């Protein structure tokens, strides 16, 4: 079950934002708030969560998330990097619904990699938007390097190699991982209809592309456990070559403990899944 305190904490943030923005009455925010009431009246049991995740619709929805990540992968320094996806989930009529919240930095990092051979365009592009400016300022050495490469000294092999390394670190920090801020959360709440009960935030640990095919995603990290306890980000869906492990981190919040062994793990394995993800095809791009 979802501890009421956490769900309500998230909702309170929304209500405050809504008030601060003086928005017109928003039905979808009302719908979203209704999830918490429904969940308090009838908490989601572990058995319900498991039945929904292992149903044919649940398995299909989860497989589709991993395929979506593979299709969005980014090739850099010869390897493909698969992005995490995430959002908030509900349980409605026995079906888990994973509403996806795009991480705005993913598209910016993708464009950075596309522009890496054109330092002037890359610098112009990043300077245009506040998130781009933040990436420029927080990606170690990037601003200074682009300044050099677009200045009188121009580019050389050393600087290109350094730029590749700096971009690789931006990809590792901002593209591999998923995060959302409260403004983006509110925007996505307004874009979706909400029915049923509230499960919590979710994110995937996608397949990792290796020479021999798709390898398992990593298990929930210490950071994931901290976020679960602090913000109620409970579901981590970990890819396996023959299925998935769905980690429900809500027991950590109840116990206020960062111990992976306390998580409930719902495992799915099947030959169909293994065949689906064993085609040996490389990710798109």
Which residues contact Zn ion (rule: CB under 5 A)? 224
Q: What is the DSSP string of 29-43?
A: HHHHHHHHHHHHHSP
| Helix pair 119-128, 130-138: axis angle to 10 deg | 120
- Of 49 and 204, which CB lies nearer to Zn ion in the complex structure? 204
At a CB cut-off of 8 Å and minimum separation 6, what does 201 contact? 86, 87, 88, 89, 231, 232, 233, 234, 235
Q: Minimum distance between the CB of residue 283 and Zn ion, rounded to whole angstroms?
A: 20
Alpha carbon distance 159, 145 (integer Å): 7
Alpha carbon distance 249, 119 (integer Å): 43
Q: Minimum distance between the CB of residue 224 and Zn ion, rounded to whole angstroms?
A: 4
Q: Minimum distance between the CB of residue 154 and Zn ion, rounded to whole angstroms?
A: 40
Q: State both tokens at 135.
A: 């990436």
Q: Minimum distance between the CB of residue 260 and Zn ion, rounded to whole angstroms?
A: 12
Q: Minimum distance between the CB of residue 233 and Zn ion, rounded to whole angstroms?
A: 8
Q: Do residues 240 and 121 lie in contact, with contact meaning Cβ atoms separated by under 8 Å? A: no
At a CB cut-off of 8 Å and minimum separation 6, what does 105 contact? 131, 135, 174, 175, 179
- Of 148 and 253, which CB lies nearer to Zn ion in the complex structure? 253
- Of 224 and 245, which CB lies nearer to Zn ion in the complex structure? 224
Residue with tokens 């798709």: 214
């Amino acid at each position: 079950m979802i501890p009421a305190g956490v769900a309500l904490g998230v909702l309170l943030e929304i209500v405050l934002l809504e008030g601060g923005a003086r928005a017109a009455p928003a039905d979808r925010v009302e719908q979203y708030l209704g999830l918490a009431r429904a969940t308090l009246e009838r908490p989601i049991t572990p058995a319900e969560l498991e039945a929904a995740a292992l149903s044919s619709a649940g398995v299909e929805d989860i497989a589709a998330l991993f395929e979506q990540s593979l299709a969005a992968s980014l090739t850099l320094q010869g390897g493909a990097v698969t992005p995490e996806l995430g959002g908030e989930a509900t349980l409605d009529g026995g079906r888990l619904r994973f509403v996806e919240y795009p991480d705005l930095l993913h598209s910016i990092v993708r464009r950075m990699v596309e522009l890496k051979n054109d330092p002037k365009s890359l610098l112009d592009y990043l300077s245009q938007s506040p998130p781009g400016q933040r990436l420029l300022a927080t990606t170690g050495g990037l601003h200074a390097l682009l300044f050099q490469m677009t200045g009188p000294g121009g580019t050389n092999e050393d600087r290109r190699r350094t730029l590749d390394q700096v971009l690789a670190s931006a990809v590792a920090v901002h593209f591999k991982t998923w995060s959302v801020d409260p403004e983006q959360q509110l925007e996505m709440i307004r874009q979706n209809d909400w029915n049923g009960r509230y499960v919590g935030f979710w994110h995937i640990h996608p397949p990792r592309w290796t020479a021999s095919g798709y390898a398992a995603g990593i298990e929930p990290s210490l950071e994931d456990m901290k976020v679960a306890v602090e913000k109620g980000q409970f579901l981590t869906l970990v890819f396996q070559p023959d299925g998935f492990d769905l980690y429900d981190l809500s027991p950590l919040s109840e116990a206020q403990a960062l111990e992976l062994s306390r998580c409930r793990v719902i495992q799915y394995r099947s030959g169909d899944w293994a065949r689906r993800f064993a085609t040996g095809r490389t990710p798109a791009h």
